[in-house]
Structure 1
Amino acid sequence: METIDYGTGDLGRVRFVLSPLGHLIHGVHDGPCSRQSPWRQRWWPRARRQVSLGNGRLVPLINRAHPDAPAFLPLAIAGDAAAPTFEQELDQLRATPPHLLGYRLAAGSGPGPGRTDEADRLIRGLRNQEDASLRAVVDGLLALYRATLMADWPTVAERLQRDISMRQRQIQRHGALAMMTNLHSDITWRPRTDAEGPGPGLILAPCLFGQQRTHGGPGADGTQVVIYPTAELDESYTAPDDHLAALLGAGRAAVLRTLRVPASTSGLARRLGISAPMASTHATLLRNAGLVSTTRDGKSVRHDLTAVGRQLVELNPEGIEL
């Protein structure tokens, strides 16, 4: 049971965040909370096949035996953007003092499979304010995201947005406090009588990959973060083997599928939640393979599927279906 304090000024500053980094961490974490999620039950066995020695170095660190969720999860979610890209969240993590990340990791650890020598060295380095250890964590998260979640994030984000839209309608009809009270039975809301002024607000982050309970804690800027299970998860869900991702890689498969509707490089990046340089690299490789055509439109370029690329997408539907 989570007890979360709030001030009256916080009620006017409730905002929702879609977090790809938070979902990566929660999805990789093999605890009881994640194992309760039907989405995670189907996503992780397939995603795990993409994990290798090169991109999976942080899996033991994420799984450092906290029973429900990694203790540093709120650090990955706090931020100003309502739908940050993975790169934006990594930038925020880079700006986090290393010792704060190390402290959160150490506080949530215990005996178990996450206790590896490399994980211990990373935590010691973070607590000693070593920038190299922070870079290793950031680079490891990026490699893991590209291998596992990047192709599926647009579908996950669409489902999260439906939950947020429902909560926002509740706020409009009944107010923020009524919505918060009905957010989850695991939360007890406790008003702070001494709180004055506008307050720092509350960040609410819906989660598909954790369904046992909510998780709370301060983000990097001190704002209270509440990670809660999404509602109404009884929809049909299938996650067949993704042959297109196996052929091209998860990132390029996601780009190819996204280009069923033509897009500029920046538009492609926004749709997939990746950086523009990464989107450009994927598009170039697919163009060299004869699957994508690129035409210049003023100062920008327009990417579209070739006949071969479109046929390949049609023969290999999405890896996650709603």
Structure 2
Amino acid sequence: MIRIELDEAALGATRLATSPLRDAFCALHLQLPQRNPSWPYQEWVGHAREVWREDDRLRPLWDLLAEGRYEVSDFLMPRPVGTVDVYEELDLLRATDPDVVREQAAVCYPGMAEEPFLRPYLTDPQAACAALADAYAAWWEEAIAPYWPVMRRLVEDEVLVRARTFATEGVDALFGGLESRGRWERPVLELTKYIDAEYAAGERRLVLVPLVFAEGCRLYSIDDPEVLTVSFQARGAGVLRERPAGPAGGGDRLGLLLGRGRAAVLRELDGPLTTHGLADRLGLAPSTVSEHLSLLADADVVTRHRVGRSVYYQLTDTGRSLLALLAGEGVLTAAV
């Protein structure tokens, strides 16, 4: 169990940030042979495992993620700076201080200094980090890049919604719905992990990073002396999923009442989403989704609110009741 104590100063310094490189790292873990990914990721994993097996450019990653080598240093993932450009993060990786690389490699892989996979990080850290960044770039291009436009929208939406929650409802609302493996009891944020550690208020500022591939692993980064980084699952990972057949014939009462397209929009609103976010998830034109949302809003089935330039939609109590009664979905008491 990880316990992070947050006083008022620490809470005020808490930030949310995007990090495509962290998503790429978690995606690596998700497709490893010993993993059994859940349904939303299975279609993606089939392709990703082919890339992992066959692309020799990934060798530096193969070496670091070989069986039993799961204690990886933060130099694999630089401090999140809120960018949506993975190549900006890879430039930061290439520029990592060589002394930091040597120090962290020795700590994370004790007694392994003579192992061939580790020696480059100790003898020529700059070249080793450059090779690692190149391997990451190859993995990104083959396994992640085709999905990134949709993933980017999901994580950016998550940051906007969470930031709005933090600003309007306070930290209790932010942490309360943040992470299924975490628990917030003021002033302590607890994270379920296989190691035990405690951090007192004021030691470091907290950065929260939403990830689409967080099922691969929840990242908890501690090597940075100024920042404690914690990842969490962004909503909408279903964009990567195989789509099962919907209810057939007269079994889809919601579809018969509203029409299949409008019913699909209603079912997909498990959290605040934009028109484009819904369109990505459903494979529909944004104009079509916008028309459905307008009618659903007129019927008080969904509500809308603006955050910056984006408009977010979510279910009203009427919408949740409709799903519960006609679609048999247990969302009647779901949190808004």
**Alignment TM class, shorter chain as reference:** 0.5 to 0.7
Q: Which amino acid aligns with 2:97?
A: P
Give 1:102-121 correspondences, 5 Å limit. Answer: 104=104, 120-121=115-116
Letter in 1 for 2:45: W
> Structure 1 residues 61, 181: CA separation in 2 closer, same or farther (over 3 Å shift)?
farther
Tell me the equivalent position of 1:85.
85
CA contact (8 A) 2:159 2:210 kept: yes
Q: Which residue of 1 aligns with 2:43?
A: 42
Cα RMSD, aligned residues only: 3.8
The one-letter code sitting in structure 2 at the alignment partner of 1:96 is: T
Greater CA radius of gyration, 1 or 2? 2
Q: Does 1:178 align with 2:173?
A: yes
Name the structure 2 match of 1:5: 5
Q: Paired residue for 1:202?
A: 206
Structure 1 residue aligned with 2:72: 71
The correspondence for 1:223, drawn from 221, 224, 227, is: 227
Give the drift of 1:99.
5.1
SS at match of 1:79: coil
Matched letter for residue 146 of structure 2: A
> 1:184-225 CA distances to partner (integer Å, 9 max, x unpaired)?
2423553899756xx753211112212276331236463010
SS in 1 for 2:220: strand
Matched-pair contact (CA < 8 Å) for 1:78–1:203? no
| Alignment of 1:58 onto 2:54 | no
User: Structure 1: which 5+ residue stretches go unaligned?
Assistant: 240-322
Q: What SS does structure 2 have at the residue aligned with 1:152?
A: helix
Is 1:125 the counterpart of 2:126? The answer is no
Q: Does 1:142 align with 2:137?
A: yes
Which amino acid in 2 is paired with 1:78?
A: R
1:303-322, aligned counterparts within 5 Å? Answer: none
Aligned to 2:24: 24
Q: How far 1:148 moved relative to its partner?
A: 2.0
Any idea what SS the aligned residue of 1:202 has? Answer: strand
* Code of the aligned partner of 1:56: L
Q: CA 1:60–1:236 in structure 2 vs 1: closer, same or farther (change >3 Å)?
A: closer
Amino acid at match of 2:229: V
CA–CA distance in 2 between the matches of 1:10 and 1:33? 38
Structure 1 residue 61: Cα displacement: 2.9
Aligned-pair identity in percent equals: 20
Most deviating of 36-45 and 22-31: 36-45
SS in 1 for 2:232: strand
- Cα deviation digits, residues 230-261 of structure 1 (max 9, x gap): 2465678339xxxxxxxxxxxxxxxxxxxxxx
8 Å CA contact 1:39–1:208 kept in 2: the answer is no
Change (3 A) 1:58 1:130: closer
**Amino acid across the alignment from 2:72:** A
Contact kept in structure 2, 1:3 and 1:187, CA below 8 Å: no
- How many residues of Structure 1 are paired with residues of Structure 2 in the alignment? 229
CA shift, 1:90, in A, is 1.0
Cα deviation for residue 179 of structure 1 reads: 0.9
**Cα deviation per residue 1:122-155 (whole Å; 9 max; x = unaligned)?**
4222134532222221222222222221222111
| Structure 2 Cα separation of the partners of residues 225 and 193 of structure 1 | 12
In 2, Cα distance between the equivalents of 1:180 and 1:32? 33
Specify the alignment match of 2:331 in structure 1.
none
Aligned-partner Cα distance in 2 for 1:221–1:26: 23
Is residue 73–residue 105 contact of structure 2 (8 Å, CA) maintained in 1?
Answer: yes
3-state DSSP of counterpart to 1:11: helix
Specify the alignment match of 2:276 in structure 1. Answer: none
State the secondary structure of the residue aligned to 1:134: helix
1:105 to 1:153, Cα distance in 2 relative to 1, 3 A: farther
Query: Helix, strand or coil for the counterpart of 1:55?
Result: helix
Q: 1:188 to 1:71 in 2, by over 3 A?
A: farther
Contact 1:10 1:201 in 2 (8 A): yes
Distance in 2 of aligned mates of 1:214 and 1:229: 8
**2:231 partner amino acid:** I
Aligned to 1:237: 241
Aligned partners of 2:127, 2:158: CA distance in 1, in Å?
38
Q: Is the 8 A contact 2:211 2:232 kept in 1?
A: yes
| Structure 2: runs of 5+ lacking an equivalent | 190-197, 244-336
- Alpha-carbon displacement from aligned partner over 1:5-44 (angstroms, at most 9, x marks no partner): 3342221222222222111111112469974454443222
What code does the residue aligned with 1:207 have?
L
